[in-house]
Amino acid sequence: MQTANLFFSTLLFICISLSSGAQSLGLFPFLDIRPATNYHDCAAIFFEGEMLADEYSPEGKCKLEAGRKGTLTVATVNLSGSAVVPVENIAFKVAIKNNRTNTIWMYSEKASQEVQLEDILKKCEPGDRIIIMTVDQRYSLPHHEVEVAGGC
């Protein structure tokens, strides 16, 4: 009886160890019950192909001069070198933060991969800010608020 208990205890221990090891290595994805990680791909806002943030860091700010015309896009970025390089455009939505009431209202109901800045500025009041929102939690967009210098 003791031999049988020892055998089954050892067998149970080995099964649990293999299962845990397989989960950590990703060998058996059907055994992995951990939730998928969010915000693992870095993204940035681009105006006419140039990154809008003055630097890709927690201190970075997005600013535009009033009266500018062109296309806003959001793209995943490659941060390996000193320059921030766009990799692939992603879908996003646009909102406007009203300066007078501190209210955020949805400018675009549908997701887009590019928008015309002048169309957004037509809906703004002086002091408003443009808010860019990703539609997928895979993307981290730390600089999502665009200040328009001189007001909209």
**What are the angstrom distances between the C-alpha of 81 and each of 32, 84, 141?**
34, 7, 19
CA 89/CA 91 separation, integer angstroms: 7
Residues 32-59 pLDDT 10s = 666 668 888 999 999 999 999 998 888 8
CA distance 129 to 116: 15
Question: So what's the pLDDT on residue 24?
Answer: 53
The per-residue pLDDT for 22 is 47
Residues 6+ apart with CB under 8 A from 72: 45, 46, 47, 52, 94, 114, 115, 116, 117, 120, 130, 132, 146
Show the low-confidence residues of the chain (pLDDT under 50): 22
Residue 36 lies in a domain: no
Q: Is 20 helix (H, G, I), strand (E, B) or coil?
A: helix
Structural domain tally of the chain? 2
pLDDT of residue 73: 97
Look up the domain containing 124 and give its range: 41-149
Model pLDDT, residue 27: 59
Do 27 and 46 lie in a common domain?
A: no
Residue 83 lies in a domain: yes
Q: What pLDDT was estimated at residue 43?
A: 95
97 with 144, same domain: the answer is yes
- Asked whether residue 20 is domain-assigned, the answer is yes
